[in-house]
Amino acid sequence: MSSSKEETKRNSEVGKRIIKASLRDDGVLVESVEDIERLCARGYGIQRNGELLLTFYEAMYLCSKGLIEIKDEETGETVGFQDLLKRYETIEKNAWVKYLIYRDLRSRGYVVREGFGPGVFFRLYERGEYTKDSADYLVYGIYEGMPLSIEDLSQVLKFAQNLKKTLILAVINRRGEIVYYSLSNLTF
């Protein structure tokens, strides 16, 4: 594939223009109204006061696709993927796990939003369902070899069921591949 075709493909998710943003302690801020509209329509970020705040994993994903240029708010220097990851790891112990799951789900065409509740990483929307209703799925992520108590998993499952959501267990193996399991019932 020629470089111009690669660039067109890479930029097709959010448009042709590179998004300009600034790095803050709590995420990555997008201020351009046009960029905010494009990103919001595709399920990115949280809109507040005419601005859009992207989570670190959203910004990392867009950065890895070459769709965003981020400047550090304090230094004015350009921030790359590794810089974002390092910053994210200071506030989230499962930063890499969350990013890998987010990237995998986004690359499969799902809209992925921040999770809520005990241990829930993400809310997952079916393709084409993001603006229509609430998420049908909650995603709980672990990596292979990570200790996980049945009590904790049972608590998360009950939480999901109380909300009438399907719990998806995302397991990352040692090679970084992700396998998804739908949980509906735990019996002892």
Distance of alpha carbon 151 from alpha carbon 112, whole angstroms:
26
Amino acid, res. 6? E
pLDDT for res 13: 52
Last residue of a domain, one of 89, 120, 154: 89
Domain annotation covers residue 188: no
DSSP string, 44-101: -SEEETTEEEEPHHHHHHHHHTT-EEEEETTT--EE-HHHHHHHHHTT-TTHHHHHHH
Q: Is the pLDDT of residue 39 over 90?
A: yes
Q: How confident is the model at residue 3 (pLDDT cuts 50, 70, 90)?
A: very low
Q: How confident is the model at residue 141 (pLDDT cuts 50, 70, 90)?
A: very high
Last residue of a domain, one of 60, 89, 118: 89
Residue pair 130/61 in contact (Cβ under 8 Å)? The answer is no
**Is the domain of 74 the same as that of 38?**
yes
Name the residue with higher pLDDT: 146 or 99: 99
Q: Is the pLDDT of residue 40 over 60?
A: yes
Q: Per-residue pLDDT tens for 53-65? A: 999 999 999 999 9
Q: Per-residue pLDDT tens for 83-132? A: 999 999 999 988 999 999 999 999 999 999 998 877 889 999 887 667 66
Q: How confident is the model at residue 6 (pLDDT cuts 50, 70, 90)?
A: very low
Q: Is the pLDDT of residue 15 over 70?
A: no
CATH code: domain of residue 116: 3.40.1350.150
Distance of alpha carbon 135 from alpha carbon 131, whole angstroms:
10
Q: How confident is the model at residue 11 (pLDDT cuts 50, 70, 90)?
A: very low
pLDDT for res 36: 94
CATH code: domain of residue 79: 3.40.1170.20
**Is the domain of 66 the same as that of 113?**
no
Distance of alpha carbon 81 from alpha carbon 90, whole angstroms:
15
**Is the domain of 21 the same as that of 99?**
no
**Is the domain of 77 the same as that of 136?**
no
Query: Tokens 């990237």 correspond to what residue?
Result: 103
**Is the domain of 83 the same as that of 105?**
no
Name the residue with higher pLDDT: 84 or 13: 84
Cα–Cα separations (whole angstroms), residue 22 to 10, 64, 104, 108, 156: 21, 16, 25, 27, 35
**Is the domain of 73 the same as that of 102?**
no
pLDDT for res 188: 56
Distance of alpha carbon 45 from alpha carbon 52, whole angstroms:
6
| Structural tokens at position 76 | 């004015």
**Is the domain of 69 the same as that of 116?**
no
**Is the domain of 85 the same as that of 100?**
no
Residue 115 CB neighbour total at 10 angstroms:
18
Q: Per-residue pLDDT tens for 158-182? A: 999 999 999 999 999 988 899 999 9
Domain with 35, as residue range(s), is 3-89
Q: Is the pLDDT of residue 150 over 70?
A: yes
Average pLDDT in the 27-48 region? 92
**Is the domain of 123 the same as that of 159?**
yes
Integer Rg of the chain from CA: 17
